[in-house]
Amino acid sequence: MAAAEQLARRLHGFDQPTVWHEFTPLANQHAAVNLGQGFPDWAAEPFVKDAAKRALDADLNQYARPQGHRRLVEVLAKKYGKALGRAVRWEDEVAVGVGATETIYSAISAFVESGDEVVVFEPAFDIYQAQVQMAGGVCSFVPLHVRATAAGDTEFYIDEAALARAFSSKTRLVILNNPHNPTGKVFSRDELELVATYVRAHPRVVVVSDEVYEHITFDGKQHVRVATLEGMWERTLTVSSAGKTFSVTGWKVGWAIGPHSLVKGIHLANNWIQFSVATPFQEA
């Protein structure tokens, strides 16, 4: 039997190319600006690189606290406490992962059992479906539709009927990417409230809110955090990272913020998936 045929079924289909494999070659072929690539095209600022150099020179090169380097989690607790309008405990309401990608996988691993369903808005960042599949779950897709606006433009929007169909007694997670990749959509407060209405109606459902583009919005669009809506702090893991904001995607430092009851799941999964994240980059 060929080695490939011995791979676990959870990896079925992972060798097939996705649309992301086509973006860069096509952009190069047509001399186009690639707005679909998940990394900034400018260099990291000198102060960011200098901070990493100082951490290396200070010999902060051993394992960090598995839940996150203390200096980083304290800063994150203050930042998100202000953003979310509530106190966030650095000790047990912050989890640090190897980028947002691994943090999301740990969240999925912590809550999704075989056969559970995960609501995903499409088009979607391709890691979501693969990670759900590896956890034994099934994606329940909600297609974003396009409509004309009063200003003569077009916009993506959530069709409530499609959203309602995506929820069932098997629903365990909702993965909400806001601002959204690849469309660039910034979900409005009303749209987030619509999603929250269905989450509240299903007591088992947890929201994983991927907000890595939280600081990259344009045209006056306001980024609203779903965790700030009534009753949603208790149901939401807010995920972000340093990579997009500081143009250091190769550092792979991400995090999740939420109530201890949810963050505990990421801490437990991380102990066996990653153990620790690069200490000097966390310090920086």
How far is Cα 116 from Cα 173, in angstroms, rounded to an integer? 8
Quick check: is 98 in a domain?
yes
pLDDT at 151: 82
Give the DSSP letter string of the chain: --GGGGS-GGGTTTTS--THHHHHHHHHHTT---SSSSS-SSPPPHHHHHHHHHHHHTT--SPPPTT--HHHHHHHHHHHHHHHTS---TTTSEEEESHHHHHHHHHHHHHPPTT-EEEEEES--THHHHHHHHTT-EEEEEEEEEEE-TTS-EEEEE-HHHHHHH--TTEEEEEEESS-TTT-----HHHHHHHHHHHHTSTT-EEEEE-TTTT---TTPPP--GGGSTTTGGGEEEEEESHHHHT-GGG--EEEE--HHHHHHHHHHHHHHTS---HHHHH-
Contact residues for 97 (Cβ-Cβ < 8 A; gap 6+): 103, 106, 254, 255, 256, 266, 270, 274, 277
pLDDT at 4: 56
Quick check: is 48 in a domain?
no
pLDDT at 3: 61
Quick check: is 272 in a domain?
yes
Q: Which CATH number characterizes residue 189's domain?
A: 3.40.640.10
Domain span at residue 108 reads: 65-283
Quick check: is 88 in a domain?
yes
Contact 154, 146 (CB under 8 A): yes
Question: What tens digit of pLDDT does each residue of 92-150 get?
Answer: 999 999 999 999 999 999 999 999 999 999 999 889 999 999 999 999 999 999 999 88
pLDDT at 259: 99
Give me the residue label for tokens 């980083």.
72
**How many domains, in total, are found in the chain?**
1
Give how far the C-alpha of residue 107 lies from the chain's centroid of Cα atoms, to the nearest Å.
Answer: 10
The pLDDT-based confidence of 233 (bands split at 50, 70, 90) is very high
Quick check: is 212 in a domain?
yes
The pLDDT-based confidence of 14 (bands split at 50, 70, 90) is confident
Residue 93 CB neighbours (<10 A): 24
Is the model's pLDDT at 68 over the cut of 70?
Answer: yes
How far is Cα 124 from Cα 40, in angstroms, rounded to an integer? 19
pLDDT at 42: 83
Question: What tens digit of pLDDT does each residue of 170-219 get?
Answer: 999 999 999 999 899 999 999 999 999 999 999 999 999 999 999 988 88
How far is Cα 61 from Cα 99, in angstroms, rounded to an integer? 18
Which two structure tokens, joined as six digits, stand for 226? 């779903």
Quick check: is 41 in a domain?
no
Quick check: is 81 in a domain?
yes
Q: What is the mean pLDDT of residues 237-256?
A: 95
How far is Cα 152 from Cα 130, in angstroms, rounded to an integer? 37
Tally the C-alpha atoms within 13 A of residue 86's C-alpha that lie toward its C-beta: 16
Quick check: is 142 in a domain?
yes
The pLDDT-based confidence of 12 (bands split at 50, 70, 90) is confident
